[in-house]
Amino acid sequence: MRLVVFRDAAELAEAAAALVRERIAAKPDLAMAVPAGRTPRRMYNHLRDWQAREPADYSRMRVFSVDELAPPAPADGYFWRQVRSEFLAWAGVPAERWHPFDVGARDLEAMCREYEATIKRAGGLDLVMLGLGPNSHIASNEPGSELDSPTRPVRLTPQTVSYILTDEVLQGAVSDRAVTLGIGTILAAREAVVLVSGRAKRPPLERLLEGGVDPMVPATALRLHPRCTVFADQEAHP
């Protein structure tokens, strides 16, 4: 695992945007699981502004979800709505290359199994970009998640639900159920990048960097990944 520390959140977001553009230039049909949240929002803003100055070709990219809330979230997903409005709305990725979670499905477990199959048919994920939860969860893999866990429905902790509700962009009720890429799915990706910003993320980042691999600290599973980079700003860095 490699740690890169940036001066502030703006510098981190710019570096994350540069990494995405580099990966697209190197592999135009990049299969990427894209995150939602506050830190990714800054990255998407940089990518949009950069696109206006110096267009990149995103048209062959395959876009997957990292996680999504279950109903009463809307059928198109709270997190996916952010990805659509802040990235897909301007990137020019054809809709047939979008792979959101179908949280309106009658059987979420079957939907998640099919999602894993879709990833396999795509040749696997080239890049998974993640945030870091307050309790050191990654995607929606809460403490206690097995290290080889697949994409699946999960139950969120009250702490995670409370944290989600602090994002002022979200409107409406938030479920304590979600679907998520599993830790095993994330570890199988060819590259993982974690974006960590703000003083509140200092304790979970410290647990990630200093602890051994522990299912009760899900992010520590990334220590097993052969190509994982953590982008942190100085406020988050222990």
Query: Is 76 one of the catalytic residues?
Result: no
Query: Is 237 one of the catalytic residues?
Result: no
101 close to 179: Cβ distance less than 8 angstroms: yes
Active-site option among 46, 137, 191, 225: 137
DSSP annotation of 75 reads: T
| CA dist., res. 132 & res. 129, Å (int) | 10
108 close to 153: Cβ distance less than 8 angstroms: yes
Query: Is 57 one of the catalytic residues?
Result: no
Query: Is 142 one of the catalytic residues?
Result: yes
Active-site option among 68, 86, 126, 142: 142
Other C-beta atoms within 10 Å of 59: how many?
A: 12
| Cross-strand partners of 141 | 138
| Cross-strand partners of 178 | 69, 154
* Amino acid, res. 27: K
Active-site option among 14, 46, 68, 135: 135
Q: Which residues contact 47 (CB under 8 A, 6 or more apart)?
A: 17, 20, 21, 87, 91
34 close to 87: Cβ distance less than 8 angstroms: yes
Q: What tokens were used for 24?
A: 């697209």
Helices (H), the chain: 9-26, 38-53, 78-83, 89-91, 108-121, 158-165, 183-188, 202-210
Q: Which residues are catalytic?
A: 67, 135, 137, 142
